[in-house]
Amino acid sequence: MKKTLPTSLPYNQPLTVLSPATIANLSCGFDVLGLALSGVGDTLTVSLTTNPGIEISKIEGADLPRETDKNVAGVALKALLEAIPDYTGGVKLQISKGIAPGSGIGSSAASSAGAVWAVNRLLGELFTPAELTQFAMEGERLASGAAHADNVAPALFGGITLVRSSNPLDVVAIPCPDALYAYVLHPEIELKTSDSRKVLKTRISLQDGIRQWGNVGGLVAGFFLEDYGLISRSLEDVIIEPVRSLLIPGFSEMKEAALKSGALGFGISGSGPSVFALCQGADNCQRAGAAISEAFEGIGLSFNTYQGPVNSQGVQIVSNE
């Protein structure tokens, strides 16, 4: 559908947003369920320029390419601008990475989602959420070779999202229970996405499939019903975790510690190496987090942790001056 630009545009007025880190591959919901984290994300400052083109003027916090075609946010913005051929101006972008690339909590998705969300805001909300998701997915295509929505959707919309289908795109917002907290531990090791993919089996048993979709149904129902017991019982991944967890040092010790200290569930965030626990309430999250980090400390590798309630908002404005 052709988009009509607003008659006046706020050129050279910077807008700064915080775009959250996200957990994709939420346990049984491999490739379909994700959620947004609070307290960790990328900060992006965008402005519309009268000169055409996309200029990434600065990237802080990570060594990433500034060339538009090699940068996930650049590629996402390019897709957005191509959808408005009438727009004769350009975009200037600064990125401050709060999320380490390759950590498994949606680093590329946060930059892509934040960039398109912010520019859309400056353009007077020209695009629908579904369209923004599609643009941001182009960043994911650059990052991983596949246009996945399972990180960009929760980054854009906040809360918990179900990507029922990627093609055609069908994203469903799932209500998030108020007391749902997430804890993430990011071991500072490099886990190549290619290795993380290589261990996946291309065929699975029908029995495991049935167990997995029973759990996906249970998890979605648990979120709607705010039934933490059901959520906990459903946070089980019988297909991906058994093979991928072998690539993450200390996984089983951390999982045991998490569940012993009352976490609802524990699993791999994205394709790792980050791991996550979901918890009922801040206190439990604190307790489970301490137990998980203690279990990991024994290994002697450095790590970062994040914790907080599920981020219900998604990308948010930090400053518009």
Residues taking part in catalysis = 140, 193
**In 3-state terms, what secondary structure has residue 268?**
strand
- Give the shortest CB-200-to-its own copies separation in angstroms: 7
**292 token code pair:** 């998980």
Identify the H or E element spanning 267.
strand 265-268
Round to whole Å and give the CA distance between 40 and 96.
12
- Give the shortest CB-273-to-its own copies separation in angstroms: 21
- Give the shortest CB-269-to-its own copies separation in angstroms: 18
Round to whole Å and give the CA distance between 6 and 298.
58
With vertex at residue 38, the alpha carbon angle to CA 37 and CA 44, rounded to the nearest 5 degrees, is 95
Q: Of the two residues 3 and 164, which places its CB atom closer to its own copies in the complex? A: 164
Q: Of the two residues 1 and 206, which places its CB atom closer to its own copies in the complex? A: 206
Q: Of the two residues 22 and 215, which places its CB atom closer to its own copies in the complex? A: 215
- Binding footprint of its own copies on the chain (CB under 8 A): 28-33, 162-165, 170, 172, 174, 200-207, 209-221, 224-225, 230, 233-234, 239
Round to whole Å and give the CA distance between 212 and 222.
15
Round to whole Å and give the CA distance between 149 and 31.
8
- Rounded alpha-carbon distances, angstroms, from residue 93 to 62, 103, 114, 297: 15, 23, 11, 38
Q: Of the two residues 74 and 158, which places its CB atom closer to its own copies in the complex? A: 158
Q: Of the two residues 225 and 282, which places its CB atom closer to its own copies in the complex? A: 225
- Give the shortest CB-71-to-its own copies separation in angstroms: 29
Tell me the one-letter amino acid at 266: F
- Give the shortest CB-190-to-its own copies separation in angstroms: 25
Tell me the one-letter amino acid at 93: L
Strand 53-60 versus strand 90-96 pairing type? parallel
**Is 42 within 8 Å of 110 (Cβ atoms)?**
yes
